[in-house]
Amino acid sequence: RRARRARCRRSAVTGGWGPVTLLSPMWLLLLAPVALLAVAYLVTQARRSAYAVRFTNLDLLDKVAPRGPGWRRHVPAALLLGVFALLVVGFARPTAEVRVPRERATIMVAFDVSASMEATDVSPDRFTAARQAARQFVDGLPERFNLGLVAFSSDASVAVPPTTDRQAVLTALDRLSTSAGTAIGEAVLSSLEAIAALDSQEEAPPAHIVLLSDGSSTTGRTVAEAAREAAARGVPVTTIAYGTQGGVIELQGRQVPVPVDGPALRELAETAGGGFYEAASGDELQAVYEDIGTSVGYRTERQEIWQWFVAAALVLGLLAAGASMLWFARLP
């Protein structure tokens, strides 16, 4: 699956349709009679107009003949033809790729607590803003999901194994503190171990790792090794490159640049089959987490959607009946 790259992209749809296909397309042949009916209606209307102009005194006709309904007389007929067309499409059994909520999933949040997260290029600083966004991400996930937390700097540790106890994850987030070093590879491998420990106890649900970092890996096993292992286990790793190129921290009285390393995180996501995002502010990071939550919380499956066409036909039928009763005091 190709990695995605976004700066501040929100998912606009939480449940949408993909391309529509038909399981019984032969039913579409019934559209031919519907088309013939439409043609017959047009011909009938043309004949009525031709009959009306046979009167030689058009001025007299305009005075004695009541004013016609104009375009309104065609509305019930047009709606009725729409009903027939929608019913035919419904009989053809249309299907589409529909996003439905996952029943179960395991999500590991890998959180960078390296010293570079103290940079203030993100207000009030990278660490504080990232922790707040992560809290909202945790709150937004379905309660039935298992959620775990891995914190990493010079090494990686599982702060909270996968659990449905959201408060445990939130409490662990509040207790995080920064230290030197960045071990991205170890963070991915620790997350995989936590997922494997849970999956060994029951039938394995879908799993996903969401890793946030602002720098390059400086210690531990390589990112490439971790990415290959995640790909081999079928666990996507979505990465967030967090911060700006102008970030600095104060170290022993001097200013040390800590630019974000997007290319390394993008390569990790591409190898492991996840998505890649960039966030240069707290608001952008919250939007990224929201998009990720929507992505991992749903799966795509093909379903029949004929009921939507039948429902639309019913609505058009009711509109046709209502318009005819209102304007002509009769049903169409």
How big is the CA angle at 329 (ends 324 and 332), to the nearest 5 degrees?
Answer: 35
Q: How far apart are CA 251 and CA 114, in angstroms?
A: 13
Task: Read off the tokens for 230.
Answer: 């995640």
Q: Which residue is listed with tokens 């009541």? A: 66
pLDDT at 10: 34
pLDDT at 217: 92
8 A C-beta contact, residue 275 and residue 9: no
Per-block mean pLDDT, blocks of 10 residues, the chain (332 long):
39 51 90 90 76 54 55 83 91 84 82 94 93 91 90 96 94 94 96 84 75 92 95 94 91 88 93 93 86 72 87 90 79 72
8 A C-beta contact, residue 34 and residue 85: yes
Choices 3.40.50.1010, 3.40.50.300, 3.40.1280.10, 3.40.50.410: CATH for 103-296: 3.40.50.410
pLDDT at 60: 55
pLDDT at 263: 92
Task: Read off the tokens for 162.
Answer: 């996968």
Q: pLDDT for 28-62, tens place per residue?
A: 999 999 899 888 888 887 776 665 555 555 555 55
Range list for CATH 3.40.50.410 in the chain: 103-296
pLDDT at 45: 78
The pTM (predicted TM-score) of the whole model is 0.65
Alpha helices in the chain (DSSP H): 31-52, 58-64, 75-91, 126-140, 166-174, 184-199, 223-233, 262-272, 282-296, 306-328
pLDDT at 325: 80
pLDDT at 200: 56
